[in-house]
Amino acid sequence: ARRRDIPVQFLEQLFAVLRRAGVLRSQRGVKGGYSFARDPREITVLEIVELLDGAFGADAEGVFADAAAAARAVLERTTVADVIEREAREAGAPMYYI
């Protein structure tokens, strides 16, 4: 929450939805927190988006429907593990400015 500047209460609401859907599991207590209930390689970004926000691009028409379909394809083939790997790679990569 701190790193992304997201209010903790809002994040808790999102995590509750994902927990009820079986994507996350929670543990109470001193060593409590959240972890994935399934392998992150099996959870698509599209699944997360649709659990939190409903059917992606469902109301789009015309060129926007085409754009939504293209974005949907990317989200469907991208897993949570892919996002984790990419962020780790980008965090370790030095930035060069000209």
In this structure, are residues 26 and 33 in contact, taking their beta carbons and an 8 Å threshold?
A: yes
User: Per-residue pLDDT tens for 42-88?
Assistant: 999 999 999 999 999 999 999 999 999 999 999 999 999 999 999 88
Q: Which amino acid is at 96?
A: Y
Give the predicted TM-score (pTM) of the model.
0.82
In this structure, are residues 25 and 35 in contact, taking their beta carbons and an 8 Å threshold?
A: yes
